[in-house]
Amino acid sequence: MPFSILRSLLPRPGTIDRFEKMRACAGALFGIVLTGLCSVQLLGNTPEAIFLLAPIGASAVLLFAIPSSPLAQPWAILGGNIVAGLIGVSCAKLIGTPILAAALAVSLTIAAMFALRCLHPPSGAIALTAVIGGPVIHAMGYHYVLLPVAVNTVLLLATALFFNNSTGRRYPHQLSAPAVVTQKNEEHTLVTSSGITAEDLDKVLASYNQVIDISRDDLQAILQATEQAATVRRLGTLRCAQVMSGDVHSVEFSTSLQSAWDLLRLHRLPAVPVIDRARHVIGMLSTEHFIEQAEPGDVSGLAEKLRHLLRASGHSHSEKPDVVGQIMQKNVPRAQADQPVVELVASMAASGTRVMPVVDDGGRLVGMLTQADMIAALYRRCFHAAADTAVIKAD
């Protein structure tokens, strides 16, 4: 019975693999050896030199084992350790009672880190060491902030930058999910396809009113990935190749504007991909691109503007564009043929994209995916999933 109670108090097993654990341990090994040699070189082989490694060891846990944590980012460790050193030395000099000086040093360090947005837990040990570190550290005065605190911090940070990036961990940890730009060029990041926005997440985090050891961007990415995984579990993995239209009309860079316009009108297409001779997608052309170009000041009416644009096309002396490549959209997002459709639903809805070219592993055009295609396919999957559930309940 006591054993079962103790076992219930243990946290759940972690989800990281053996390689990640070994990677974190190796990074901490290199970082502490480097900063330890620096401390011994500066202070000699003394207990004080070894004592200075205590807060750096705590920083190493964050920088190598949890490099994505907001508490482990460069400004957090650099700003936190330096401000902690300054406050700790000041308290040691101004307050004669060691216990009071130590308590105020840690308390003021936390307040300063909150104000400067550089919260780093091991910095509390930096401030405490400045007060209770002994005569050698007291004799250093404010030099303690530069040597060894700042030097050790920079060495550990440089090691983390090199080691994490060379072993596949992005550091400093940047935004997990780039914002999607809508047609109105306004930044709007969709967290999940169920309608949760970044503003909703900010509001909940503000009401939570606690420091959490994960960035908002990582939390946003986790929510979106979780919803996608749940959708795949419910509906199965529906891939672009199963939904796309394989009969694709396309144009080339050198296709005349008149020919491209006729193609769009004849087949009632909202857009067509622009390809090279190897069928690699190099752009997209839509009716909106024609409308954007058809704006001569002396011609009124949209139809007349388009006629004026197309009449000018093909004349070398005209300043108007002649071929598709001059007005097409470049840097077009593409979908992979084996990519799950649910991965594209949120991004296409947020950006207002109606059609997207589908390419194979070699980047060659193999089909076109539209919002209507996705909605119809997902609806059919939802309908069949609901029908299967009803049959199971009836049985």
Higher-pLDDT residue of 227, 146: 146
359-369 confidence digits (pLDDT tens): 998 889 999 98
pLDDT at residue 177 in the model: 43
* Domain layout of the chain by residue ranges: 14-166, 180-229, 241-385
pLDDT confidence of 184, banded at 50, 70, 90?
very low
Q: State residue 299's pLDDT score.
A: 44
The DSSP string of 9-39 is: HSPPPP---HHHHHHHHHHHHHHHHHHHHHH
The distance from CA 274 to its chain's CA centroid, rounded to whole angstroms, is 30
Angstrom distance (rounded) from CA 363 to CA 377:
24
Compute the radius of gyration of the chain from its Cα atoms.
30
For residue 202, name the pLDDT band (cuts at 50, 70, 90).
Answer: confident
- Closest of 349, 351, 319, 350 to residue 332, by C-alpha: 351
Q: Is it the case that residue 389 has pLDDT exceeding 80?
A: no
- Per mean pLDDT, which of 189-193, 220-224, 242-246, 342-346 is the most reliable? 242-246
CA angle 115/120/122 to nearest 5° reads 135
pLDDT (mean) for 40-50:
69
Q: Measured between alpha carbons, how far is residue 71 from residues 26, 77, 107, 117, 356 in Å?
A: 20, 8, 17, 10, 39
Phi, psi of 202 (to 5 degrees): -60, -40
How many residues are given for the chain? 395
Q: Locate tokens 């954007």: which residue? A: 292
Using the predicted structure, report yes or no on whether residue 12 has a pLDDT greater than 60: yes
Q: What pLDDT sits at residue 319?
A: 59
Contact 244, 358 (CB under 8 A): yes
CA–CA–CA angle 35, 39, 43 (5° rounding):
175
Q: Return all residues near 365 (Cβ < 8 A) that are at least 6 apart.
A: 248, 250, 273, 275, 279, 280, 281, 357, 358, 359
pLDDT winner (highest mean) among 10-14, 160-164, 285-289, 333-337? 160-164
pLDDT of the residue at 94: 95
Sheet of strand 281-286: strand arrangement:
251-252, 271-275, 281-286
Residue 168 has pLDDT above 90, yes or no: no
Tokens of 27: 């990074």
H-helix or E-strand containing 283? strand 281-286
Tokens representing 55?
């807060």
Q: What is the dihedral of CA 258, 262, 264, 266, to 10 degrees?
A: 180
- Look over the chain and give the mean of its residue pLDDT values, rounded to a whole number: 81
Q: What is the DSSP string of 320-374?
A: S--BGGGTSB-S---EETTSBTHHHHHHHHHHT--EEEEE-TTSBEEEEEEHHHH
Note the CATH architecture for domain 241-385.
Answer: Roll (3.10)
Residue reference for tokens 């076109």? 368
Q: What share of the chain is helix, strand, coil (3-state, %, to 5)?
A: 60, 10, 30
Range with the largest mean pLDDT of 103-117, 231-245, 319-333: 103-117
pLDDT digits (tens, 9 = 90+) for 216-256: 788 887 887 787 777 667 666 788 888 888 888 999 999 98
C-beta atoms surrounding 95 within 10 Å: 16
Residue 185 main-chain phi, psi, to 5 deg: 60, 30
Distance CA 330, CA 166 (A): 32
In the structure encoding, which two tokens stand for residue 174, read together? Answer: 């940047």
**Is the entire prediction scored with pTM above 0.75?**
no
The CA distance from 150 to 131, in Å, is 17
Residue 374, pLDDT score = 79
Give which of 379, 339, 137 is closest to 242, Cα–Cα. Answer: 339
CB atoms under 10 Å from CB of 71, counted, come to 21
pLDDT of residue 142: 94
Lowest mean pLDDT among 107-111, 248-252, 322-326, 376-380: 376-380
Distances (CA, A) of 69 to 108, 149, 178, 218: 23, 22, 18, 9
| 29 pLDDT tier (thresholds 50, 70, 90) | very high
